[in-house]
Amino acid sequence: MSFILASCGGGPATRANPPPSTTPVAAPTLSLSVTPTSVVTGGQANLTWTSTNATSCTASGSWTGSEDVTGTQSTGPLQTNATYSLNCIGSSGSVSKSVTVTVSQPQAAPMISIEATPTSVSNGSTATLTWHADNASQCSAGGSWSGSRDVSGSIITVNLSAPTNSFVLQCSGPGGSASASANVTVSAGNVATCPTAPPLGLPSGGLTRSPQNPAVRNGPESYDDLKAGPRTILKEGLAQYSMWYEAVSSSGTTSIAYATSTDGLTWTKQGVVMEPDGQSSWEKDETSPGTILLENGVYKLWYHGGGSMDASGNRVGSARIGYATSVDGRTWTKHAANPVLDVGGSGGFDDGQVAEPRVMRVGTGYRMYFTGANQGSSQKSLGVATSLDGITWSKDTRSPILDSNRWGNFWGGAFFLENGLWQAWHADDTGSGQIKYMWSADGLSWTDGLNDPVLVTSTVANGPDTTSLGDSVSGFRDGSAYRIYYTGFAQNLGGTLGRFEGINMATVAATCPGT
């Protein structure tokens, strides 16, 4: 059987047409930036943005409203941190970006204080320049001196002969730059010297107590509730005085505490800045400041450690002298090879203790006056040592240069070297204690003053030095006067304030033309 398939229509066969093609729309993109990203208070920044595939943009955060899809805009003056957000919308979605501008307080401009002491000298004399700059990172000198300078320091000028000498200090920091100056005038006449026929003309008269005594009292802080004692003081600016003092607690620990003042009369305690190590026999329980020098931006401290006391009140371990450094006067690093001055040989004037270091720059090196105590007799005499670097010391073979009778059998003194003349004030244990004056042409052979003693205990009832005075004496020259600080004792300060053992100050006018 055969089957025949016949076509059912004419012409070729046809296919259905595909749907028309479409191109997808890309999602919006957005670039948003701000320049700068940080400003000081009141500063402005510029916003820049660009978007694609977007039909509209809306701002939020620190700006609001509709914005073009591309544009720039200033933030205007800013007072606080600001965040700028932008959301752009297109047919295929949306995109958001944010930027932040950080606002900071403007950097303070440098503030400079510079002082010359004295401000008027005779021909050929010198002056001391003391300066301090806040908010500064570098300083340079101009006018009558030159070169780079630390942001704080003190130097002695060259011998001056020009009628007017202007010492300009220029300092700069993140907040800009500033300058200040101190002037020294030179009077006509011969080269200045201290009194040429001592003891005539020396400042050997009586000391005048400060009416604001006590300068620093013991307590109520626990670290110095027993005693505020030996101290060293720096004048670091026109109204910037710094004191490091011996702080004795009723627990028996003796530390070094720090205080500040704007006038050298009224002091604010800042707390303990150095403590004994609790281990070494020579500074187990005691560290006491002797001298601080500020050289090339480094605070250099010579101090003594007093060993420790046993249950019966007997001293254990010989007192010795140590050395430490600091860049701010508060955080100290003790020298690895301490002590830098040790006790002497058996039977010597200093075989029991070496303490109360008074260090001075002399020429290219250092001279130290120290108090030595004999182990057997407990008598205290004055010794001398020298050093080229302030660390390695050699005792002068002529020590003691003053025996216990001449030295007063007490502790450290206030020493000055001005125009070739040495002067000192020291305590004497006669009676209830007193302060004496002496002078020297070489700092080794000393002559007592004509009016000794220059200070004795007060007759004022319950005064800060009525019961006794002396102990440890120190001081510095401030302008035309010497400020002499000493320890005083009262059984009941003011009649109501209780036991007092603290720091007092007295003054006497200077007769030398300046350091």
* 243 inside domain: yes
* 444 inside domain: yes
Q: Residue 57 belongs to what domain range? A: 46-104
pLDDT at 7: 43
Residues contacting residue 81 through CB under 8 Å, at least 6 positions apart:
100, 101, 102, 103
Do 124 and 221 fall into the same domain? no
What does the pLDDT profile of the chain (515 residues) look like in tens digits?
444 444 444 444 555 566 666 677 899 999 999 999 999 888 999 999 999 999 999 999 999 999 999 999 999 999 999 999 999 999 999 999 999 999 988 888 999 999 998 888 777 677 888 899 999 999 999 999 988 888 988 887 877 778 899 999 999 998 899 999 999 998 765 455 677 777 888 888 899 999 999 999 999 999 999 999 999 999 988 788 999 999 999 988 999 999 999 999 999 999 999 999 888 888 999 999 999 999 888 999 999 998 777 776 666 778 999 999 999 999 999 999 999 999 999 999 999 999 999 999 988 899 999 999 999 999 999 999 999 999 999 999 999 999 999 999 999 999 999 888 899 999 999 999 999 999 999 999 999 999 999 999 999 999 999 999 988 999 999 888 999 999 999 999 988 999 999 999 999 998 876 54
Do 176 and 123 fall into the same domain? yes
Residue (of 112, 349, 341) closest to 237 by Cα position: 112
* 254 inside domain: yes
pLDDT at 315: 65
Residue by residue, DSSP assigns 413-443 as -EEEEETTEEEEEEEE-STT-EEEEEEESSS
CATH number of the domain that residue 172 is part of: 2.60.40.10
Do 100 and 244 fall into the same domain? no
* 515 inside domain: no
Look up residue 117 and give its amino acid. T
Which residues, listed in sequence order, are joined to residue 421 by a DSSP beta bridge?
Answer: 418
pTM beyond 0.75: the answer is no
* 18 inside domain: no
Look up residue 190 and give its two tokens. Answer: 């011969």
pLDDT at 380: 96
Residue 207 and residue 216: Cα distance in Å, rounded? 19
* 228 inside domain: yes
CATH number of the domain that residue 383 is part of: 2.115.10.20
Question: Structurally, how many domains does the chain consist of?
Answer: 3
* 464 inside domain: yes
Do 126 and 216 fall into the same domain? no
Residue 455 and residue 243: Cα distance in Å, rounded? 23
Q: State whether residue 451 is helix, strand or coil.
A: coil
Among 84, 104, 124, give the residue marking a domain's end: 104
Do 87 and 181 fall into the same domain? no
Do 439 and 403 fall into the same domain? yes
Do 170 and 217 fall into the same domain? no
